[in-house]
Amino acid sequence: ADSFASRVSHIDSMAEMLKSHGLKNGDIIVGVDGKKTDPIADTAELYIKLRKTAGDSVTLDVLRDGQKLSMPLRTFRMSFRK
């Protein structure tokens, strides 16, 4: 109840291709780098967007099938051409 408790509902095809994480649909992210709450961010995704920069690595605390896992996640930097 006192964590991000964000359920994974979609895996981006780019993240699958880059193998930036091992998340699966239905996983529940309860923490990021040991943080479970934030004064501003109410989801793990928002916390990462606000508190981390592109290219950072973080560790997710994940619940999968009733078991708690620690899972590395690599954020990636998007490049855009003009």
Tens digits of pLDDT across the chain (82 residues): 688 898 999 888 877 777 778 899 999 999 999 999 999 999 999 999 999 988 888 999 999 999 999 999 888 766 656 5
Which pTM value belongs to this model?
A: 0.80
Long-range CB contacts for residues 70-77, cutoff 8 Å, separation at least 24: 71/21, 71/22, 71/23, 72/21, 73/20, 73/21, 73/23, 73/48, 74/18, 74/20, 74/21, 75/20, 75/48, 76/14, 76/15, 76/18, 76/20
